[in-house]
Structure formats: structure tokens, C-alpha cells
Structure 1
Amino acid sequence: MTIHWIAIARTLGGLLLFAGAALLAPAGVALGYGEAAWWSFGGTALGTLATGGALWFGLGGVAPQDKDLGIREGFVIVALSWVVLSLVGALPFVISDVLPSYTDAFFETMSGFTTTGATIFGGGGNMDIEAMPRSFLFWRSLTHWIGGMGIILLTLAILPILGIGGFQLYRAEVPGPSADKLTPRVRETARRLWLVYVGITAVQVLFLLPAMSGFDAINHAFATMATGGFSTKNGSVADFDSAYVDGVITLFMVLAGMNFALHYRMLRGKAITVWRDTELRVYLGIIVAATGLLVVSTWSVSGVRLPVASEAQTSFAGYDSLGEALRYGVFQAVAIITSTGFGTADYEMWPPLAVGVVFLLFFCGGMAGSTGGGVKVMRHVVLAKNALNEFKQLVHPRAVLRTHLNGQPIAPAVLRNVLLFVVLYILLLFLGTLALAALGQDLWTAFAAALSCVGNIGPGWGTVGPTENYAHLPALSKWILSFLMMAGRLEIITVLIVFTPAFWRR
């Protein structure tokens, strides 16, 4: 079957139209605050709108009569859209000289759209975050918010005319082992998901307003619901030094890490069915267990003091009160498991037990169907259940056993998909580590940077830890990490499949 390149180009034109419209928002912020950067956003927006319009309207008359995109076209569009939109979104940084290096601008923009939150600001000669024009702070947060639910899904929601091959795009974009449609029509599904997304974001803004400015509240709500992690402060959420802010953001990070289909069911009064969801109970259980271990290991009077691993850890004497240990413990546990990456504490200085807990959370991820990155809780549940079945099969070799989830048998195709994803995740992690090490990074930093970017977490360890940034990395390392961010955001298979010979055969 021939790939419909004209249809792909026309669809990308539609996405560029949306990107051009999105760029007008920070242009408006710049005008509102009297910043000269408005023209860099405005000029980029006009050029993007012109290019998108030429593709969308110019190719409208020559597009294939069969307007339903196949699965291959869906994969190509999703993969290309993130690259193209990041290339475009990086231009205002360079035009305004906020970032003189286009590599840095692309890295920052890809980090935004993929909700990774890894930044190059505050190091390597780049300006501090708080010194940036407000329009660029807003643009970083907006790329988070758009990328959180997915550029393709957003387009399907607001441009019904795009309804070509909708489910192929939806299936390729929505996070998780499978895409669970809320309604038979994909566009209606997209609209309802975005209504939930917008609604929860608005509620968080209202909750944050008593403790911060409207601008900061909007930016942090965008970053929280997208599980992104870009902040308007150099020290992230820690700079607000507010237990109230920590509590609000923690709550909404938990909500952002949940499957948005469950939010929709809760709004329809089906809370009981929501609680019966196995993945949700495991997700909340991991948060509770991790928080408990972090509290025990960081509370100064808990009595748990294992030998320290470095001189840096000896300077951490522990939190004086249970409330303080709980505040910082639950925040960091939720920030890492949901891949948000906000920071209120330097977890590298914590005792070894706490460091080990945080490290394990890097491999967890949020729920399937959430804006979180990582492996996803669903896959861990499926792997655990399948492993138990394999053990039973060894004891009872003649038994016919099926792996079940929420009372329903898991299709063999889903099991294969989960196993393939985990293998590719590990392979990509180690290849990324080797590539970064070959470019001069120490092995621990190389591993941490690759792990953080493929999991869309943001902060890592070593020289890219929670109080550091990625500015010092070589240019080629940043392009490699940008690819890892995109692959991780699109669940790896969606990206890597376009590099296989079988994908291009007729």
C-alpha cells in the first residue's frame, strides 16, 4: 500500500495552522507586559500560518479521494508533527536572542512539548529563568500544556474538518498500551478529554491564586496538569517556600498522573467503578508506600540512619518534624512518579534509603491515559500479573491460564506490546547512555540524563540533578536527548517503527 504523502503534508499543514495560532498567545502576553519580544512571536506566527495555510488549502484539491489515513500515515504524522512543531516553536528564542544557540532553543522547545521539563536556562552562559521575558516563560508553559494531552488530540478536538483517519492518529498519540475511547467518535472523545483537562487546570489556577500571582498560577497550573515541570522560578516550586503551594501542586500532580478517562467517569458519578480500577489502586499504593519510606528515612527523629554514601549526604541532618518530612517526601514522590519533575528538595542529599526510593520511582511513571511519562503503572501491573501466571504454568503445565486485568482477559497482542515496549525502553536507555558517555559525560550523568529524558521526567542525577541543568552538555548530546524525549513521549514504538524496513514496504 502506497503512503499518502499528500494527505500527510496537508495534515501537517493543519497542525502548523494550529501552531501559528498558539504562537499568538505569547505575542499577546509580550504586548501586555510591554516586551519587545512580541514581534518574534508574531513574525513566527505569521510565517507558520502562511506555511500551514499553503499546505492545508493548497493541497486540498489534490489530496487522495480516500481521505481515511491508514495506520502508517498515522505513525508518520505523529512522529513528524513533534519534530516540525519543535523546530517552529524554537524560532522565537533565537530571533529575540533569548537563546543564541538554535540547538538550545530546539532542546528547550522539545522539552516543553514532550512535557519533559529539562532546561538549559540558568547555566552555560544562558540567562536565569527569572530574568527571562514573561512572554517566553508563558510560551514554555504553554508548550507543556499543549503537549500534555497531545498536539494531535487537541487538533482533532478543535478542527473537526481534520477528521481524516482519526482513530489511527488517536491510537498513535494517546499514552498507554491501548487507547480506550470514551465515545465511538474520536473527535467527541477528544473534546470531552480536553474539557476535563481545561476544567481541572482552571480549578488549580483558582487554588493557587491565594499564594502567588495570576501569572505564576497559570504557568504552574499548565506545567502541573501536563506533568511538565517548567517553573517561573530558578529554584522551581521551592522558591515559593509555601506548604500550601506544595500541597496544592501535589494534589493536582496526583490528578494529572491519573487516566483522564477515570476523571470523566468520576464527573459522571461513577466513582465506585473508578475505585475498582486495578491500575489506580496500584498507582495510589505506590505513592503511599514511597512517601512512607521517604518520611521514615528523612525524619530526623525516626531513628532510621543507614551509612551515607557521600560527603554531600552527611550535610543533611533530616527534617525536624513529621509534617516537614511528609511535606517534602510526598511532593518529591509524586513529582517523580508522575514525571512532573518539580522540585522542593535536593533528593541527592537525602539518606541512601530515600535516594534509592526516588531512583526506583524514575522507572515507574503515571497511569496509562494520563499526561505522565515513564513506563506507566499499567505496564508494571500487566508484567507482574503475567509473571505470576508463568509461575503457575510451571507448577500446572496442563492448565489453560489467561492474564486478567479488571476482570477482563488481556489480549495476547497487548501482552506482546507491553513486552516489546519494555525491551525497547531498556535498549533505548542504554544506547542513549553509551552515546552520551562517548561524548564525554561521566557514566552516572550519562545514564541519569538518558533515563530522565526517555521517561520525560526532567531532573536527573549527577551534573543534571535537581539543582542543575542541561546547559553544559555538548550540542550533539542535546540533539540525542531531544530524540529520547520525543521517543519517550510517543511511547517509543510510534517513533522507532518508522525506522524499520518493513514499515516502508508496500
Structure 2
Amino acid sequence: MILDWKAIAGILGVLLAALGVTLVAPALVGLAYGEPEWWAFGATAVGSVVVGAGLWVGFKPEDELRVREGFAIVALAWFVLSLVGALPWVMTGVLTEFADAFFEVMSGFTTTGATILGGADTPQIEAVPNAFLLWRSLTHWLGGMGIIVLTIAVLPLLGVGGMQLFKAEVPGPSADKLTPRVTETAKRLWAIYVALTVVQTLLLLPAMSLFDAVNHAMATLATGGFSTENGSVGQYGSAYVDWVITVFMILAGMNFALHYRLLHRDWSATNNEELKVYFTILGLATLLLTLTLWTPTSELLPAPVTLDGEVVTQQVVDEVVSDGATLDEARTEPSTRTGGEEIGGGAEAADALASREERGRTVIHYDSVLDALRFGAFQAASIITTTGFGTADYEVWPPLALVVLFALFFVGGMAGSTGGGVKVVRVLLILKNSFRELRLLVHPQAILPIRLDHRVVPEGIIRNVLSFIVFYVGLIGVGTLLMGVLGLDIWSAFSATFSCVGNVGPAFGAMGPTENYTHVPVAGKWLLSILMMAGRLEIFTVLLLFTPGFWKR
């Protein structure tokens, strides 16, 4: 037999049962808030536990898992659990289309944070029952360190080893083990993960409710980005909340093996080369964004903008297209945050002028350097860690700021973090290899090994990194082409594909930070869901299933 399907079914059974236990939490929250939709979570929980237990009892693996089964389980787990996790959404009618529900849950498990909520045909986030809001955050939290990593801490107790699963799931070019035993490693990772989640929850409590604090903490540590508010973190309008979440996004983007070493006072971990590059990129991006947002790149208007004789006090508006709009017409537009100070008198008119459809190009400028630093640091951390939270519409920032953010889309967090993207260590190795090639042009006979943290990097890993980049870019290219065929404009198709493969969430254009994915065609939602999964599992795990050699003896 090419694949031991019985063993695969048995392990998937354990995962289903674990998912069923997790579904009890939103069911209880629904009951506590008096929400009638709680039954859907209860029914799905019971069904998952029963089916999962049956699969485990009937197909319990007898031997150690092979590499092939390990990769197959990882890929199938994300797909199957997302299918089951989508059931409560459609059973209650909160979402009527299964494609929407699957997209939302896959976005959660892969920690992408792209959402279809808040659109014309889907409910606003604040109108969604609390049970579902908690479920969204739980999918983030479980997916953050990997459902598989969580499960292998339990599997040895059931008599099954999990090394192959760990190898397939841990993000990055190589798994930096904390301890020789996989079980102990998984437990330590999750202990740190839980502790950081609790600490962030406590720090957020002074500025928001316990429910909101728990949800935002889970989404932050998972670098997911789902919020309980339509306006994301920016809706709180709190500098304190922004800075707390900024710090924890940065921590979540770090290698959790380094967290473990630092907690055990191994200060040599601070000499980690990838860590230094991570903070260097983050620091430079924050500096550039701060200077760009504080110092406008466009010419300031000499006088306030007015409509019907009333002043619209937006900080910078460099082009106004809506000449014929009246205040009454402008006030029919939905209210949005535009950053900086609160907009006074004629706020709705300012919002209307700031909409992409009416104002052409509006550049936001912050009069206070502290505000520029606050918004710049938050968005830099949000994008490089692929969290996707927002405090401002970055599409109305100056062009240089958009270039910086776009570059951060590609980089991603550190290997061994919960973040997505290419990963800092891969970018570092690509740069080192590129400089080596330049030196070899001058000294073609030289032997120039690439070193990372004073250790020689095997050429096999270099080839793996280069292959990953080729597949990463290729997947974005193919995804963009297919999304374009489905009717999206080229910029929206590219940025949405780029965002989903990198597990960022918000993109540019029609899927920008103040938009959502509701209007994407059904086929596009399925495609983007698969791209999210491929990106979360670092492409190879998914593409491997489509290679003929995988299915041969």
C-alpha cells in the first residue's frame, strides 16, 4: 500500500475529536449570552467527538508513521477541520453560502485573517453572535502554533510517535528543536503560547471588555488578525491598546524557541542572526513610516476644505473630486476612521471625500510625531508578522509608506514563529547567497560557504530556500492569473493572492484594509482558501501531494 490510509484516518479521528472538544467553548459562550445559535456548536461538537473517536478506535495506527503519512495528515487535517468548523455558520444561517463559511474558517485556522464579514451580503462583525466571534478567534489560536503540534503532545500517550508530523508542520527551513523529545518540545511551545496569551489579555482589560481582550489576545499571538469590531483595533481609538498589541505582535513574530531560551536566561539567544535582522527590518520600516507620515509627501492645501460653507477638517486632502456633493448626500456615507486627530464638523462629508470612489487620492498626514510613530509602528508590526490588524486605512498613506508595507508583505516573521510570509531567515539566506554569487564572479575558484550564526549552512538548505522562493512566486503568479480570469482587476487579484499565500489577510485595492472578501466569486473564495492553506503549510507540504512520486512506492 502506497499510503496507510487506516493510520491517516485514525490520526484524523483524534484531530476531529479534539476539534469537537474545542467547539464546546463557543457553545457555552452562546448559552451564557442567551444566543439561540449555541446548539449548532453543541451538535457539531458531539458529532465530531463521536466520529473522531470511532475513527481512532477502528483505525488506530499500529506502527510509527512514515514521512508520507505525516505530510498527508498535515495537509488533510487543515482541509477536513475547516470543513467541519464551517458547519455551525451554515447550520444557523449566519452565513448562507458554504463557500463563505469555509473561507472564514480556513482563514482562521491558517491565521490569515481575511474575512467575508462586513460586506453587502454578509453580516457586520458586531452583529455576529459572540459564540461565532469566539470561534473565529479560537480557529486563529489553534492554528497559530499548529493543530498538529498541539496534538503530538498527546499522541505519545496513545502509543503513536509524532516526529514526522512535527517535521511537516513547524514553520521555517529547519525545525530548531528545544528538547530531544518532540512531545516535550510541543508542550514547552504551547506553555509559552498560553502564557503570552494570558499576559496580553490582562494588559488589555483596562481598555476593553474581558470578551474583547481574550479574542484580541488570541488573534494577536496567532498573528491572525480577526477582531470583534468592524474597524479592527482602530475602532477603540486607544494609543494604549495600539502599543500593547504592537508589542505582542512583535513577540508573536519571533521564533518561539528563542522565547524558551530567553525565559531560561540563555542570553546568547539575543545574538541570533535572524533575530537581529528581524528587528533591523522592523526598526527601519517603523522609522521610514514615521518620517513619511509625519512629513507629508504632497503639498498641503493652503485653506480648509469646505462643503456648502461648512469646514471639513481633515488633516490633509490633496485632491477633491466630489465637487457637487452636498452635506446631506455626504452624510449618507458610512463613517470610517481616517487616522490622526478626530475629524470635527462635517465628519461624514470628510469620510465621503476620503472614499476611494470620490476623492481620487487623499494623503493622510499626522501633525504629531508620536501619532505618526504609533500608527507607523503598529502597521509595520502588523504586516511583517502577517497579523493583519489595522488602526488606519494605509491606502491613503503617502506612496513611500505603501512601498514599505508592500515589502513587509513579502518578508514575514521569523522561522519558528506563528507568522506567515517567506520568513526572515529565508530572505537572509537569499541575500547571503546573492552576495556569494557576486564574489564568485570575481573569484570563480573560491570556496565560499554560507554561514548563519557562525555555522555553515548545508547547500541542501540553500537549494530548498531557492526552490521555495520559486514556488512561492510561481503560486502567486498562477493565483493572480486565475483570480483575474474570475473577474477581479489585476491589482486586486495580485494583492489578494499575495496576501492569502503570505497569510497576511488585508491586501490592497478591492481587498484593502477597510474592505473585505465578500465580493470575490465563489470559485475565487475556494481558490484563495487553498492558497491560504498552501501558504500556512509553507507550500511544499501541499504541492507534494500533487507530485506523481508521492503516490509511487
* TM-score, with length taken from structure 1: 0.96
Aligned equivalent of 2:14: 14
Contact 1:313 1:351 in 2 (8 A): no
Change (3 A) 1:373 1:312: farther
The residue aligned with 1:155 is 151
1:215 aligns with 2:262: no
Residue 382 of structure 1 aligns to a residue whose secondary structure is helix
User: Is 1:131 aligned with 2:178?
Assistant: no
Aligned residue for 1:19, secondary structure, equals helix
Please name the residue that 1:386 is paired with.
433
Equivalent pair of 1:277/1:406 in contact (CA under 8 Å)? yes
Name the CA distance, whole Å, in 1 between partners of 2:88 and 2:50: 16
Shift of residue 315, structure 1, vs aligned partner = 2.7
Q: Secondary structure at the match of 2:153?
A: helix
> Would the aligned equivalents of 2:155 and 2:161 in 1 still touch at CA under 8 Å?
no
Deviation at 1:377, TM superposition (A): 0.3
Which of 347, 359, 374 is matched with 2:406 structurally? 359
Larger radius of gyration: 2
Match in the other structure for 1:339: 386
Q: 2:293 pairs with 288, 298, 308, which one?
A: 298
- The equivalent of 1:2 in structure 2 is 2
Q: 1:313·1:348 contact (CA, 8 Å) conserved in 2?
A: no
**1:400-411 paired onto structure 2 within 5 Å:** 400-411=447-458
Aligned counterpart, 1:253 = 249
| Alignment counterpart, residue 279 of structure 1, candidates 274, 296, 315 | 274
Question: Offset of 1:162 from its aligned partner?
Answer: 4.7
**Which amino acid letter does the alignment assign opposite residue 55 of structure 1?**
L
In the alignment, which residue of structure 2 is the partner of 1:169? 165
Partner of 1:33: 33
Superposed CA deviations along residues 341-374 of structure 1, whole A, max 9, x for unmatched, are 0000111111111111111111110000000000
The residue aligned with 2:490 is 443
2: CA distance, partners of 1:222 / 1:331: 17
SS of structure 2 residue aligned to 1:363: helix
The answer for the alignment partner of 2:284 in structure 1 is 289
Per-residue CA deviation, residues 219-252 of structure 1 (Å, 9 max, x unaligned), is 0000000000000000000000000000000000
User: Could you tell me which amino acid in structure 1 is paired with residue 252 of structure 2?
Assistant: A
Q: 1:297 touches 1:305 (CA, 8 Å); kept in 2?
A: no
Q: Is the 1:118–1:470 contact (alpha carbons within 8 Å) kept by the matching residues of 2? A: yes
Letter of the aligned partner of 2:414 in structure 1? M
1:145 and 1:223 in contact (8 A); partners too? yes
The 5-angstrom pairing of residues 15-164 of structure 1 reads: 15-60=15-60, 63=61, 65=62, 67-162=63-158, 164=160
Farther-moved stretch of structure 1 (490-499 vs 159-168): 159-168
Partner of 1:416: 463
C-alpha displacement at 1:158, in angstroms? 3.7
Which moves more between the two structures, 315-324 or 199-208? 315-324
Partner residue, 1:503: 550
Pairwise CA distance, 1:35: 1.0
Distance across 2 between alignment mates of 1:411 and 1:352: 40
User: Which of 364, 368, 373 lines up with 2:420 in the alignment?
Assistant: 373
Out of 521, 541, 545, the residue aligned to residue 474 of structure 1 is 521
The equivalent position to 1:455 in structure 2, one of 502, 521, 528, is 502
Percent same amino acid among aligned pairs? 60
Deviation at 1:59, TM superposition (A): 1.9
The within-5 A match list for 1:302-321 is 302=295, 304-305=297-298, 312=359, 314-321=361-368
Residue pair 2:379, 2:391 contacting (<8 A) in 1 also: yes
Once the two structures are TM-superposed, the CA of residue 160 in structure 1 deviates from its matched residue by 3.2
* Alpha-carbon offset, residue 382 of structure 1: 0.6
Q: Distance in 2 between matches of 1:306 and 1:2?
A: 66
TM-aligned CA deviation for residue 163 of structure 1: 5.4
2:372 is aligned to 325
Letter in 2 for 1:297: T
Contact kept? 1:226, 1:371, Cα under 8 Å: yes
**Candidates 164, 178, 184, aligned match of 2:174:** 178
Does residue 237 (structure 1) correspond to residue 249 (structure 2)? The answer is no
> Match for 1:41: what amino acid?
F
Change (3 A) 1:159 1:73: closer
- Once residues 101 and 224 of structure 1 are traced to their aligned partners in structure 2, the CA distance between those partners, rounded to angstroms, is 28
- Give the Cα separation in 2 of the matches to 1:411 and 1:332: 35
Amino acid at match of 1:502: G
Verify the 8 A CA contact 2:298 2:363 in the aligned structure 1: no
Residues 85-132 of structure 1: CA deviation (Å, up to 9, x unaligned): 000000000111110111100000000000000000010311100001
Question: How far off its partner does 1:2 sit?
Answer: 3.0
Asked if the contact 2:503–2:536 (Cα under 8 Å) also holds between the matched residues in 1, the reply is: yes
> What letter matches 1:390 in structure 2?
E
User: Which of 487, 491, 503 is residue 538 of structure 2 equivalent to?
Assistant: 491
Report the TM-score, using the length of structure 2 for normalisation: 0.88
Q: Deviations over 1:24-74 (max 9, x none)?
A: 1111111111111111000001111111011001223xx4x4x11111111
Separation of aligned partners in 2, 1:404 and 1:463: 42
Does the Cα contact within 8 Å between 1:313 and 1:350 map onto a contact in 2?
A: no
